[in-house]
């Protein structure tokens, strides 16, 4: 349906929730080559509010009707995980390209269904998250150096997402809203919410070969902000800036009981195709931690070097292979720096101005791929592999056996 020579790409957004209104819709407004043609949410007032605030042409409460009646060319699937497979398959089968929020699917069959439908239809599908991924700054260079031997033989890695150091931080415990996106069985729980870890590990080390998982539910009974609170918030918002729900969600009272139906605390042991072994934690802290603690980002250790993320730099590598890095500091570390950003302007969880904003980068990437008629870097085969790393964790946790990966990526 896309005509690559046309000036404007018509975009439809399904799921007018928090990521739509905080990140994608405001960014689409700034793009001269995209038009917000349709918005859809099963809670019609959310779609109507987004139509008014972001100037969409039409609002729907039924996704299939949006696909039938509107002439959108690109669909942003921003609903909860349980809908991702059906919505993406329906979009590509009706000739649309797709940007799909993570997780792609909750099992391998779902991911395979998306791959098959996308390839059959010859469409473009970008699978989030692009942070951290091959399209995030410095990851291509890190991967190139790892392949060139900057770490020697990679031995082991650990990837434990960092935790807040202050009490009351919104990242503690779990999302303050969104039962269907984060708590119900078909949300996939935190294993499938935390696609970021498998994505980061694969971006640095390439394909995964085998997974062993353990999973549990630490806090089954929780409270979240009622859905109606967000409906009313959007109804009162007049500008795109006023439609960013985060501050209001954090300040609101959590009065709606919700069951955590899927694991909120899981560990995966990954054996990578390069022979390295590593551990990843899927889940949240409930209380603040203290720096410096072992609770940090990815570190990869090898016979000739160590790579660590964080500690004031995007990533740093210590290596005996000095020939591979342009320079080192006095202790022998080479630092990969992202462009400097003003952290005083940081408003959680909005990236500070100038920092890598993955929602924007992915939007840019899919629009460029449609225009240039090329497959996204984060294509369906890439998404399937990241999905299988999470699926393997969950299957292994249930069966008590290793899970052998059946897919791979060439990266």
Instruction: Supply the angle between the helices 44-54 and 227-236 in degrees, to the nearest 10.
Output: 30
Residues within window 335-374 making contact with ligand NAD, judged by CB under 6 A:
349
* 240 interacts with ligand NAD by CB under 6 A: no
User: Total number of residues binding ligand NAD (CB under 6 A)?
Assistant: 26
Q: Binding residue for ligand NAD (CB under 6 A) from 9, 11, 13, 14?
A: 14
**Taking CB positions, which residue lies at the least distance from ligand NAD?**
17
Q: Mark out the alpha helices in 77-153 (DSSP H runs).
A: 84-93, 108-121, 139-148
- Residues whose CB falls within 8 Å of the CB of residue 258, separated by 6 or more in sequence, listed in order: 179, 183, 222, 223, 224
DSSP for residue 347: B
What's the closest the beta carbon of residue 250 comes to ligand NAD, in angstroms?
12
Structure tokens at 50: 């987004």
Q: Binding residue for ligand NAD (CB under 6 A) from 19, 203, 378, 380?
A: 19
- Residues whose CB falls within 8 Å of the CB of residue 357, separated by 6 or more in sequence, listed in order: 23, 27, 351
Residues within window 185-214 making contact with ligand NAD, judged by CB under 6 A:
193
What are the beta bridge partners of residue 318? 306, 333
Coil, strand or helix at 348: coil
Please identify, using beta-carbon distances, which residue of 62 and 71 lies nearer to ligand NAD.
Answer: 62
Q: Binding residue for ligand NAD (CB under 6 A) from 9, 10, 11, 17?
A: 17
* 16 interacts with ligand NAD by CB under 6 A: yes
- Residues whose CB falls within 8 Å of the CB of residue 105, separated by 6 or more in sequence, listed in order: 81, 84, 85, 111, 113, 114, 387, 391
Nearest CA among 187, 163, 301, 296 for reference residue 195: 187
What's the closest the beta carbon of residue 20 comes to ligand NAD, in angstroms?
6
DSSP for residue 97: E
* 18 interacts with ligand NAD by CB under 6 A: yes
Q: Binding residue for ligand NAD (CB under 6 A) from 34, 40, 106, 205?
A: 40
Please identify, using beta-carbon distances, which residue of 27 and 334 lies nearer to ligand NAD.
Answer: 27
What's the closest the beta carbon of residue 352 comes to ligand NAD, in angstroms?
16
* 181 interacts with ligand NAD by CB under 6 A: yes
What's the closest the beta carbon of residue 22 comes to ligand NAD, in angstroms?
8
The rounded distance, in Å, linking the Cα atoms of 345 and 213 is: 38
Stretches 17-25, 105-113, 373-381, 394-402: which one binds ligand NAD (CB under 6 A)?
Answer: 17-25
* 386 interacts with ligand NAD by CB under 6 A: no
Stretches 4-12, 13-21, 281-289, 310-318: which one binds ligand NAD (CB under 6 A)?
Answer: 13-21
The string of DSSP codes covering 266-316 is EEEEEEETTS-EEEEEEE--SS---SSSS--SEEEEESSEEEEEETTEEEE
What's the closest the beta carbon of residue 400 comes to ligand NAD, in angstroms?
28
Gap between the terminal Cα atoms of the chain = 30
* 46 interacts with ligand NAD by CB under 6 A: yes
In the complex, which residues of this chain contact ligand NAD (CB under 6 A)?
A: 14-20, 40-43, 46, 63, 78-81, 83, 101-102, 175, 178, 180-181, 193, 349
């Amino acid at each position: 349906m896309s005509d690559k020579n046309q000036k404007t790409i018509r975009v439809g957004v399904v799921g007018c929730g928090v990521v739509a209104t905080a990140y994608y819709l405001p960014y689409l407004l700034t793009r001269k080559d995209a038009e917000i043609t349709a918005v859809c949410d099963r809670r019609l007032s959310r779609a109507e509010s987004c139509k008014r605030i972001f100037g969409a042409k039409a609002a729907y409460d039924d996704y299939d009707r949006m696909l039938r009646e509107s002439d959108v060319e690109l669909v942003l699937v921003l609903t909860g995980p349980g809908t991702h497979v059906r919505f993406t398959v329906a979009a590509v089968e009706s000739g649309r390209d797709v940007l799909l929020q993570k997780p792609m699917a909750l099992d391998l069959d779902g991911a395979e269904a998306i791959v098959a439908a996308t390839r059959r239809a010859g469409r473009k599908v970008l699978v989030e998250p692009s942070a951290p991924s091959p399209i995030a700054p410095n990851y291509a260079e890190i991967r190139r150096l790892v392949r060139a031997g900057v770490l020697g033989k990679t031995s082991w890695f650990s990837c434990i997402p960092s935790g807040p150091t202050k009490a009351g931080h919104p990242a503690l415990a779990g999302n303050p809203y969104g039962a269907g996106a984060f708590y119900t069985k078909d949300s996939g729980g935190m294993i499938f919410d935390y696609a970021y870890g498998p994505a980061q590990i694969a971006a640095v080390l390439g394909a995964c070969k085998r997974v062993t998982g353990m999973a549990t539910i630490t806090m089954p009974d929780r409270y979240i902000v009622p859905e109606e609170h967000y409906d009313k918030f959007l109804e009162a918002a007049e500008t795109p800036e006023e439609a960013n729900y985060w501050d209001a969600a954090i300040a609101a009272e959590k009065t709606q009981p919700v069951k955590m139906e899927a694991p909120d605390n899981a560990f995966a042991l990954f054996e990578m195709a390069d022979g390295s072994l590593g551990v990843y934690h899927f889940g949240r802290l409930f209380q603040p931690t203290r720096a410096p603690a072992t609770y940090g980002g990815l570190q990869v250790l090898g016979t000739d070097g160590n790579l660590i993320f964080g500690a004031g730099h995007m990533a740093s590598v210590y290596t005996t292979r000095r020939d591979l890095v342009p320079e080192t500091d006095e202790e022998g570390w080479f630092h990969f720096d992202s462009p400097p950003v003003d952290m005083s302007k940081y408003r959680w969880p909005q990236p500070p101005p100038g920092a890598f904003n993955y929602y924007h980068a992915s939007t840019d990437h899919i629009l460029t791929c449609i225009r240039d008629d090329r497959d996204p870097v984060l294509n369906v085969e890439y998404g399937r592999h990241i999905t299988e790393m999470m699926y393997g964790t969950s299957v292994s946790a249930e069966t008590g056996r290793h899970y052998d990966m059946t897919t791979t990526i060439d990266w």
